[in-house]
Structure formats: C-alpha cells, structure tokens
Amino acid sequence: MSNESYKKADEVDEKPPVNLGVPEKQPRDLGIHKIVFNGHTEPADSSIDGSLKPSIEAITIVQDDYCQRDKELEARNRSVRRRIITSSVICLIFIGMEFGGGLLSNSLVIAADATQLLTVFSTLMVSMTALELSGRRPGRARPYTISWYRFEVMAALFTVLLTWVLSSIVLYLAFDRIVTGDFVLDVDMMLATSAFGVVANLLMGMSLHNNCQARGQGGCQGALNTNVRAAFLHIVFDFMFSLGVFITALFIDCCPDWHIVDPICTFVFSIFVLFITLALLKDILNLLMNAMPKGIFIDEVLKTLLTTDGVQQVDNMRLWALSLDKIALSAHLTLRPGADHNEVLKTASRNIHANYSFYEMTLHIEAFQDNTPEGHKPQPVDIK
C-alpha cells in the first residue's frame, strides 16, 4: 500500500514536500498521551549559505504511562505463567500414563493420543519460553528493535510443524496395521487409559480457559498470546481425540471382532488434527507477512482519521501485528491551511485510542501555509 493518498472530497490537492535530514527527538506531553517530535529538515531555497532548517514534524504517539502498562502486563504474565505451569505438570503426568497404557494395551490410538499430549506439552514449554523472552526490552547492543514479540509467532510455527511430523508417523503406523491386521488389544487397559486422558484434558483446558474468563470477554485475546492460544487449541483437539479413543474402546469392548477400528480411528483422528492446524498456520503466516490484523478494518481507521477536524488527507497508512495481541498503526496526516497541528494531533490520537487498542501508534503531521507560491513549502512547526 505504498504511496497511497486518501483525501477529503472537497479539498484541493497540495504538492507534497520532500523530506530530508536526520530526525531529532523531543518529548512533550499533550493531554493523556506522550508525544515524541521528530524534526526533519530540508534545504532552504531562500538561504544563501544553503543551511538546513526544520520543516516537518513526525510525531510519534505512545502510551503516556509506561510504568502502569508494564505493571499490568507483568501481573497478567504472572497469572498466565501459573496457568501454564499447572497445565504442564498435569500434561507431563498423563503423558507417562498414556504411553504406558498404550504399550500395555497395544493400542495405536492410545499411543497417538499420547503423542498429541506430547505436542501439547511442547506447546506449553515453548509458550513459557516465549512469555519470558517477549518481556525483554530491546537494548542498544541487541539487534531486535521490536523486542521478542515475533519469537512467540515462530514458536507457534514450530509447534504446528512438530504436530505434522508426529501425526505423519502415526498415520503411517495406522495404515500398516489396517493393511496387515496383525495385532491384539487389551480393551480394559484402553478404557482406563482413555478415561484418564479425558480427565487430563478437562483439567488443562479449564486451567488455561479460566485465565481468559477471569478478565472478561475483552481480555481474552490479550491474556492468551499466540502460543497459549495454540496450547489451548491443542488441548481442545486432544480432548476430542481422547473422547473418541474412549468411545472406540467401548465399541471394541462390545464388539471384540472389530479391533480394526483402532487403527481406522487413529487414521481419521490424525487427518482431522492435520486439517485443524491449518487454521493456526494461516494466522501465523499472516503475522509473519504483516497482513491486516483480524477484527480491524482499514476503512474504519481511515474514516476516523479523515473525520478529524483539520485533516486534509491521509497518506501511507499502515496496520500490522507484532504478535496476535499487539497491533501497530502508522500514518501520515496532511493538515488543511490554518489548522493547529497540536489540536489535530490530540484529537486524532484520542479518537483512535477511543475506538481501538493499538499497542503502538505513530502519526506524521505535515502543515502547510496558505495557497501562495510560498505555501507549497512546509510550514515550520512550533513545538514550544
């Protein structure tokens, strides 16, 4: 969406200025937001010595109270961390029980369920690591200027790929058993193990889901970051898997001659898991490609900016997600002649914050003089 320009219908076109030079930052408090002014310079046509003078201000809007936001984020992370640890302990215990039950019962569908639980445990561990790393602030010696937010996305991608690898192995074993039909099952052990699997998934699911419910519907997405969401989805799928295993064991117990149902159900469940993870993979790829965040419509954001008094046009508006719950906005606003840039900035930023919860927002403000030959040059902005 490069070089786009959105204008009000009743406004006359203006020549855009050329921005050169290195910005200088000066913080200033306006209303409820902290404003960072980046003064840009361009060659002065009227000067004899060719010196540079300030011409345009690029104004960055950030949250005014970083300390308060950091405290809230840390409190939320502590709660999520406790939930992840609880779910991980439950998951690890039942992984051992299901692998043991699968070996004793010679049931491939039980082993497949244990493999799925292993994927859930892997997701929880990666989520814990991502939670720790994403809280690190970028430093001067670190190459990651937007912190570690994308590590969460990469960790979720790793989990999806791991699920595909393990499911492919289980699919191969299930196909082999369907072809040969040479296996004997311990149905009683299958019933007991699958029942434990259902209970384990219920406990883990409630542990993660209650953390979301405690903050209400609006805080769900913020509380469950990309990897916690992936873990919760894995638990939901594994609950369905375990329930299917339990029903399969009941059916085989009633009809012993139908033991072939075990590899058939394994095959069907594994295919189902592969298709379900495609939705998560789509979200991950959209994040990596800086696609439009879900639930945000660019036309609505554009309308909010264009309806601000004093705004003539909006150029180069960008919307992208740093992670699933951290959305950034950048836009260039051209003001009408005579508009007060401070008032426009405060009004535009408050309108955006009133309707959206952007984690970062940068508005570049450009002011012009009247429609005279001199008016085609940018008006120096007073930041006193």
Write down the mean pLDDT value for the chain: 71
pLDDT for residue 174 is more than 50: yes
User: Considering the domain boundaries, does residue 384 fall inside one?
Assistant: no
User: Considering the domain boundaries, does residue 366 fall inside one?
Assistant: yes
Q: What's the CATH number where 264 sits?
A: 1.20.1510
Domain boundary among 231, 258, 288: 288
Residues 6+ apart with CB under 8 A from 284: 153, 156, 157, 160, 226
Contact 67, 82 (CB under 8 A): no
In this structure, are 122 and 254 located in the same domain? yes
In this structure, are 46 and 166 located in the same domain? no
In this structure, are 88 and 142 located in the same domain? yes
pLDDT given at position 138: 56
In this structure, are 215 and 79 located in the same domain? yes
In this structure, are 284 and 350 located in the same domain? no
Average confidence (pLDDT) over 203-232:
59
Domain boundary among 229, 261, 288: 288
pLDDT given at position 67: 52
In this structure, are 304 and 275 located in the same domain? no
| Letter string b/e over residues 216-232, b meaning 16 or more CB atoms within 10 A of that residue's CB | eeeebbbbbbbbbbbbb
- Residue 20's φ and ψ, nearest 5 degrees, are -130, 165
Contact 28, 383 (CB under 8 A): yes
Among 31-45, 175-189, 217-231, 364-378, where is mean pLDDT lowest?
A: 31-45
Question: What string of DSSP letters covers 15-52?
Answer: PPPPPEEEEEEEEEEETTEEEEEEEEEEE-TT-SS--E
Higher pLDDT pick, 253 / 224: 253
In this structure, are 173 and 260 located in the same domain? yes
Q: What's the CATH number where 358 sits?
A: 3.30.70.1350
The rounded distance, in Å, linking the Cα atoms of 124 and 232 is 9
In this structure, are 100 and 155 located in the same domain? yes
Closest CA to 38 of 364, 378, 331: 364
In this structure, are 129 and 207 located in the same domain? yes
pLDDT given at position 51: 35
pLDDT given at position 225: 56
pTM above 0.85, yes or no: no
Contact 59, 364 (CB under 8 A): yes
pLDDT for residue 156 is more than 70: yes
The rounded distance, in Å, linking the Cα atoms of 174 and 211 is 37
User: Considering the domain boundaries, does residue 381 fall inside one?
Assistant: no
pLDDT for residue 182 is more than 50: yes
User: Considering the domain boundaries, does residue 76 fall inside one?
Assistant: yes
User: Considering the domain boundaries, does residue 128 fall inside one?
Assistant: yes
Instruction: Give residue 332's domain range.
Output: 5-64+294-376
pLDDT given at position 130: 67
Percent of the chain residues past pLDDT 70, beyond the cut = 65
Q: Kindly state the helix (H) or strand (E) to which residue 54 belongs, with its residue range.
A: strand 52-63
- Taken in order 275, 327, 126, 241, the sign of the CA dihedral is negative
pLDDT for residue 324 is more than 60: yes
User: Considering the domain boundaries, does residue 212 fall inside one?
Assistant: yes
Maximum mean pLDDT: which of 43-52, 56-65, 206-215, 273-282: 273-282
The C-alpha R_g of the chain, in whole angstroms, comes to 28
Question: What string of DSSP letters covers 202-237?
Answer: HHHHHHHHHHHHTTTGGGHHHHS-HHHHHHHHHHHH
- Partners of 334 in the β-ladder: 313, 366
Among 4-8, 38-42, 147-151, where is mean pLDDT lowest?
A: 38-42
Among 114-128, 188-202, 214-228, where is mean pLDDT lowest?
A: 214-228
pLDDT given at position 366: 84
pLDDT given at position 379: 45
Closest CA to 131 of 177, 197, 74, 202: 74
Average confidence (pLDDT) over 253-280:
83
pLDDT for residue 32 is more than 80: no
Q: How confident is the model at residue 146 (pLDDT cuts 50, 70, 90)?
A: low
pLDDT given at position 200: 86
pLDDT given at position 235: 82
pLDDT for residue 48 is more than 50: no
Secondary structure (3-state) at 92: helix
The rounded distance, in Å, linking the Cα atoms of 332 and 17 is 12
pLDDT for residue 328 is more than 70: yes
In this structure, are 99 and 238 located in the same domain? yes
In this structure, are 113 and 201 located in the same domain? yes
Domain boundary among 288, 320, 347: 288
pLDDT given at position 365: 87
- Partners of 363 in the β-ladder: 59, 331
In this structure, are 279 and 300 located in the same domain? no
Residue 137 gets the label, from left (phi > 0), alpha (psi -120 to 50) or beta, of: beta
Domain count, the chain: 2
Residue with tokens 């219908």: 9
User: Considering the domain boundaries, does residue 382 fall inside one?
Assistant: no
Average confidence (pLDDT) over 217-240:
62
| Angle subtended by helix axes 66-105 and 187-213, to nearest 10 | 170
Contact 138, 146 (CB under 8 A): yes
User: Considering the domain boundaries, does residue 115 fall inside one?
Assistant: yes
Closest CA to 316 of 284, 270, 362: 362
